[in-house]
Structure 1
Amino acid sequence: MPKNGLNLLTNTEIAPYAYTQAGGKADYLAIPHSLEELQHLVAWAKEQGFPIHVFGRLSNLVVRSGGLRGLVILMTELKTVEQKGNELSAVAGCDIIWLAAVAQEKGLAGLEWAAGIPGSVGGAVFMNAGAYGGQADMVVESVTALMPDMTFQTFSRKELAFAYRHSVFQDNGGIIVQATFALKKGNRQKIQDRMDENNYARALKQPLSWPSNGSVFKRPEGYFAGKLIMDSGLQGTSVGGVMVSTKHAGFMVNVDHGSGNDYEDLIHLVQQEVYKNYQVHLEPEVRIIGDR
C-alpha cells in the first residue's frame, strides 16, 4: 500500500473486469473515484517506476494469461455527464451506451451508432470506435487528457489525429479523462427508433450471449474479414476455451473458461488460414497486451 493511502488491489485477476472474461493478473489494480485520485495513482506509479495501464470497460482488448506488470487503472467510476446547449461532456469512464441513452433522453442526435457498443467514452475516443455508419470522430469536439508530464491538456477536434480505429492518444501517452460531444437537436422518438434498429441488427447478427471482445479484425481493403473467415471454414474452430463464433465469423467467443492466450492463439490461427486461402493479411482490431 502506498504511503498516500490509495486503495490498491494487489496480484488481482483481470478477467472478472474484462468483456472477454479472460486475462492474467495485475500486479496492482485501482479504481479511482475522482480525477485527483487518478493523479495520485499515476504519480505514485511513476515514483515507483511502474508501467501504467489505463482502461475503461476492458472491451476490444485481449490481456494475455501472464497478466500486466505495474499498475492497472480502471476508469469505470469516473462517469459524470454535463450538458451545455447541444454538447454533452462525459468523463472517460462513462459507458458510451449510457451516454447515447442520455443524449436520446435530452433529444440530442448523433450518438445513435453507440447505443450497443460495449465500452467507455475513453475507450471509444482512444480507438475512434464506430458502428452502423457513425463513429467517434464525427461527434467528438474536444478531449481533455492527463499527459505524461502530469498536466491536463485539452485537444481540439483537429488535434486528435483521428483515423480508422486510431487517435492521437495511441501515440502521445495521454490518459483521456473527459470528452465533449457536439450533437444536434433531434426528435426523441426518432432517435430511439434508430437506436432500437441498430440494437436489433446487432442482436440478430452478433453472438451477444457469450463473452467476447467484439469484432476481432479490421476490415481489409476490398474484403470483409468475417466473410473471409467464414469462407475459410473456420466458424466453430476453437483453441482452448475460445471459439470462432458460429453466428458471426468476425467474433471470437469465450465458451469454456478461455484464457487470454487462447484468444491470441486463435487470432494467429485465423490469420494464417485466411492468408493461406486468400493471400489477405487480417490485422487485429483488438489490442493484445500483457505477458504470455
Structure 2
Amino acid sequence: MDQNEKYKGLFSTLYKETQIQQNAKMSEHTHFKVGGPVDILLTPNTKEQIVEAIKICKSNNIPFYVIGNGSNILVKDSGIRGVVIKLCDLNNIERNNNIIKAECGALLKDVSNQALNASLTGFEFACGIPGSVGGAVFMNAGAYDGEISFVIKEAEVINDEGKIITLSKDELELGYRTSIVMKKGYVVLSATFDLKDGEKEKVESRVSDLTQRREERQPLEYPSAGSTFKRPEGHFAGKLIEDAGLKGFTIGGAAVSDKHSGFVINKSNATAKDILAVIKHVQEEVKIQFNVDLYPEVRIIGED
C-alpha cells in the first residue's frame, strides 16, 4: 500500500469517497492556476469532519494545510506532501437583524450581497475581494479603506488543542494582514459581523463604485492572488515597483502587471517558479533602489 492509499484509508470512515481526492492538482484549486499535486485533498461539509481530520493528521504526523477559496495562495511546482483541507463547502450565511453569521467557506462577495439586500452598510469594502470568510479573518483582509476588523463581532475557531472556541473581536488580535488565528495556527469555522442600518440605494451605489474601480485598476483578466505584497510602512508597494521601472517585468509566463504594478500575474502558462522569480527580483530591485523591504501578502506553500 502506497502512502496516499494509507492516508486515504485514515479518512475513509469519516469522509465519503467523493470528498477525498488523491493527487489533486492544486492548480485547479488556487486563483494563480499553478502548483503541483497534493497527496490528499479533503472537502469537508461539517465542522465535525474538519475537527476530526485535523486530529487524524496530528496523531499520525501528517502535514496538513487548511485553505478556503485559494485566492491568496501560491502552491509550488512539486505540490504538497500531506493533506489539504479545503473548506469551501461550509458556506452557509444567516442574517438576524443587523447581524450576519457566515461559515468559513462563504465568499465575501456573497456576504456583501446579503448585506446589500438587507440594506446593511459596513461590508461594501469586501464586495470585490475574491476570498472566503475564513481566509479573510485569518489575514484581516481589507480593501478601499475597510477591513474585517471594522465589522467583525466574533469568530468561531478550532484552537491548537482541537477544541471549538469563540473569540471576541479583541481576542482575535486583528492587525494589518494578521490575527491570532494566523499567529497560533487556528482554523476559522465561522464569523459573525455586526453591521449598521443603511439606505439600500447608497449601499448599492458604493458597491457599484468599488466594483468599477476594481475592474478599471486591477488585472482581473489574468490569474493572480490579488495584491502580491503587503503595504510597506509609509509607502505603497505598487508605486515603489512602478518607480523602480518594473511594470511589465517578465520571467517565463509570470509578469508584473502593466495595469497595476502591485500585482504579479500568471500571464502565459506560468509556473510557480516563474512567479517566485518575479517576486524575488521585485524585492531585490526595490530594496536596492529605495531601501524598502517588500514582504509577500500571498501565502506560499508546498515544495520546489
For this structure pair, what is the TM-score category when the shorter chain's length is used for normalisation? over 0.9
Q: In the alignment, what sits opposite 1:106?
A: 118
Residue 224 of structure 2 is aligned with which of 198, 201, 212?
A: 212
Alpha-carbon distance in structure 1 between the residues aligned to 2:274 and 2:40? 24
Q: In the alignment, what sits opposite 2:258?
A: 246
Alpha-carbon distance in structure 1 between the residues aligned to 2:185 and 2:224? 27
Where 1:215 maps in the other structure, the secondary structure is coil
Alpha-carbon distance in structure 2 between the residues aligned to 1:173 and 1:276? 34
Q: In the alignment, what sits opposite 1:94?
A: 106
Alpha-carbon distance in structure 2 between the residues aligned to 1:124 and 1:209? 22
Residue 190 (structure 1) aligned with residue 199 (structure 2): no
Alpha-carbon distance in structure 2 between the residues aligned to 1:28 and 1:240? 29
What amino acid sits opposite 1:160 in the alignment? L
Alpha-carbon distance in structure 1 between the residues aligned to 2:156 and 2:186? 9
Residue 130 (structure 1) aligned with residue 142 (structure 2): yes
Residue 169 (structure 1) aligned with residue 178 (structure 2): no
Residue 33 (structure 1) aligned with residue 45 (structure 2): yes
Q: In the alignment, what sits opposite 1:179?
A: 191
Residue 4 of structure 1 is aligned with which of 13, 28, 37?
A: 13
Alpha-carbon distance in structure 2 between the residues aligned to 1:103 and 1:244? 34
Point out where structure 1 has 5 or more consecutive residues left out of the alignment.
Answer: none
Alpha-carbon distance in structure 2 between the residues aligned to 1:154 and 1:223? 36
Q: TM-score under structure 1 normalisation?
A: 0.97
What amino acid sits opposite 1:132 in the alignment? Y
Residue 13 (structure 1) aligned with residue 21 (structure 2): no
Conserved? CA contact 1:264–1:288, under 8 Å: no
Conserved? CA contact 2:14–2:49, under 8 Å: no
Q: TM-score under structure 2 normalisation?
A: 0.93
What amino acid sits opposite 2:276 in the alignment? E
Q: CA deviation at 1:84?
A: 2.0
Point out where structure 2 has 5 or more consecutive residues left out of the alignment.
Answer: 1-7
Number of residue pairs matched by the alignment: 292
The percentage of counterpart residues that share the same residue type is 38
Q: In the alignment, what sits opposite 2:152?
A: 140
Q: In the alignment, what sits opposite 2:97?
A: 85
Q: CA deviation at 1:56?
A: 0.6
